[in-house]
Amino acid sequence: MPSDLDDIALAALFATPPGTLYLNAASHGPRLRSVQAAAETAVAAGIAPWRLGEEEWIASIEHVRTLVAGFFDGDADAVAMVPSAGYGLSLAARNLPLSRDEAVLVLAGQFPSNLLPWQQRCAETGARMVHVQRGYEHSSHAHDWTNAVLAALDDDPGIRILALPHAYWHDGTLLDLDRIAACAHARGAALVLDLSQSLGALPTAIERWRPAFVISVGHKWMLGSYGLAYLWASPHWREHGEPLEQTWFAREHDAAMASPLRPPRYRPGARRFDAGGIAHAEKLAMAAAALEQLHAWGIENLRDALQARTAAFDTVLREHGLDDWITPNHAPHLLGLRPPAERLDAVAKALTEAGAVFTRRHGQLRIAPHLQVTVAQMREVGGVVVGSVQQS
C-alpha cells in the first residue's frame, strides 16, 4: 500500500467523476478503473459466447471463490456464491434449527436483509425475536452495542441464534465479536454474521468467532458488481446444509446432465449453496479485478489507509469542539455525523454544495470514504462541516 504521499496515485485508480467527493462506499463502493475495464472486456466477449470453453468458464468461478476465501479463512471450499445478502441470510435462517420456545437476537434498526429472514422464520416456528437496544441516545452507553448484546444473552436463556453485523450500518459502530462469540458459544447459540459493511475493509477472525454462516455483498467494500454476494458456511453446514434452490450447477455436473433418476451428489463444500445464475461473465470479471486489487493492497494496509481518512475528518471536528457530533468507537472506514437537529439541514447543504455524496438517514449523515478520496480531501470535508457551523 502506498504511503500518504501517494494518495493522489491511489485516487487515480478509481473512475469516480472529477469534482465529486464520493463518501458513500457503504452504499456502493467506488468503481476501480480495472473493474470498469474488466466489465467492458467481458461485455465485448459476450458477442461470441461459444468461444468460452466450459473449463475456462468454471475456472473463472473458482478463481473468484478462491480470492473471496482470502477474506474469510482462506478455505475456498467454505465459500458459496449467491445473488444477495438477503439470499444468503435466508439460507442460514432455513437451515439453523429453531423451535417455539427459542429466540433470535438482532440489533434494533438492523438492515432488513438480516432481519426479514429471521422474522419469517420466527413466524413459521413460533419462536421470538429479541431486538436489542443500545441505550438512550444521551446516556454514556448510547453507542455500545456489545454490552447490550451480552446483557441480552444473560437475560434470555432462550436465545439460540445471534444475527449480527461487525459494523452497524447507520454509523459504523463496531461490535466486539470476540466477546460476543465467546458468550454465544458458551450458551450454545449460533452466530450468523452479515459483514456487508466490513468485509473488504476490516480483517475477519473466523477461527475465533466460529460462526455458522457469514454473508457479504460484493458491491460495497469488496468493490465489485451488484448482484453477486458471498456466503461462508461452517464445516457442519457444508456437509449437511440444504440449499434454497435446486440447480444443476450445485450438483456434480456430468451426473446432473445425465438426467439420473435420483439427484446426483452436491459438489464439494459450500458449493452446494451456489445459486443459479452466478456464472455471469461480467459480474465474475468485475469481482476478480476488484478482489485482486484488494489483495494487492492487503486488508490490514487497507484498513489503516481508510482509518487515516476518517481520522483526518474526525481531527478537524475535534479541533473545533465538535467531538459529540462523531460516532464513538466507529469503524476505521465508516462513521455517523450527528449534528444537532437544528443544524442538520445546514451541514447537509454545505456538504452537497462542496460536491460530497453521502447518505442522510436516521437524523445523521453517514460518511464512508474509500481510497478515491485523499486524506487532504477528508480534512477539507471536515472544514466544510466546521464552516457550516460558523456561518449559522
- The confidence band for 137, taking pLDDT boundaries of 50, 70 and 90, is very low
| β-strand partners of 348 | none
Does residue 272 lie in a domain region?
yes
pTM for the model = 0.94
Residues 134 and 199 in one domain: yes
% of the chain beyond a pLDDT of 90: 83
Highest mean pLDDT among 239-253, 254-268, 290-304: 290-304
Residues 203 and 346 in one domain: no
- Quick one: DSSP state of residue 243? -
- What pLDDT is attached to residue 74? 97
Residue carrying the nine cell digits 449453496: 273
Does residue 37 lie in a domain region?
no
Residues 86 and 10 in one domain: no
Grid cell digits, residue 389: 457551523
Residues 23 and 124 in one domain: no
Residues 273 and 366 in one domain: no
- What pLDDT is attached to residue 333? 98
- Indicate whether 119 pLDDT > 70: yes
- What pLDDT is attached to residue 140? 42
- What pLDDT is attached to residue 138? 36
Does residue 46 lie in a domain region?
no
Q: CA nearest 82: which of 293, 198, 247? A: 247
Does residue 288 lie in a domain region?
no
Give tens-digit pLDDT for 14-53: 999 999 999 999 999 999 999 999 999 999 999 998 888 7
Alpha helix (H) ranges present in 187-252?
Answer: 206-209, 235-240
Domain span at 240: 72-221+229-277
Left if phi > 0, otherwise alpha if psi is -120 to 50, otherwise beta: which for 329?
A: left
Give tens-digit pLDDT for 42-85: 999 999 988 887 788 889 999 999 999 999 999 999 999 999 99
Give tens-digit pLDDT for 190-204: 999 999 999 999 999
Cα-Cα-Cα-Cα torsion 308, 313, 314, 316, nearest 10 degrees, comes to: 120
What CATH number did the domain enclosing 330 receive?
3.90.1150.10
**Which of 277, 310, 341 delimits the end of a domain?**
277
- Indicate whether 252 pLDDT > 80: no
Residues 303 and 258 in one domain: no
- What pLDDT is attached to residue 136? 35
- What pLDDT is attached to residue 258? 64
Does residue 86 lie in a domain region?
yes
- What pLDDT is attached to residue 76? 98
Average pLDDT over residues 357-374: 96
* DSSP three-state, residue 8: helix
CB 24 within 8 A of CB 368: yes
Does residue 293 lie in a domain region?
no
Does residue 153 lie in a domain region?
yes
**Which of 207, 242, 277 delimits the end of a domain?**
277
The chain-wide mean pLDDT, for the chain, equals 93
- Indicate whether 316 pLDDT > 70: yes
What CATH number did the domain enclosing 163 receive?
3.40.640.10
Count of CB atoms within 10 A of residue 344's CB?
A: 16
- What pLDDT is attached to residue 121? 98
- What pLDDT is attached to residue 2? 54
Residues 331 and 377 in one domain: yes
Residues 86 and 151 in one domain: yes
- Indicate whether 5 pLDDT > 70: no
- Indicate whether 139 pLDDT > 80: no
- Indicate whether 242 pLDDT > 70: yes
- The confidence band for 251, taking pLDDT boundaries of 50, 70 and 90, is confident
Residues 116 and 170 in one domain: yes
- What pLDDT is attached to residue 53? 77
Does residue 53 lie in a domain region?
no
- Indicate whether 141 pLDDT > 60: no
Residues 199 and 260 in one domain: yes
Number of compact structural domains in the chain: 2
- The confidence band for 6, taking pLDDT boundaries of 50, 70 and 90, is confident
Average pLDDT over residues 282-287: 97
- What pLDDT is attached to residue 391? 73
Residues 375 and 338 in one domain: yes
Residues 112 and 197 in one domain: yes
CB 388 within 8 A of CB 347: yes
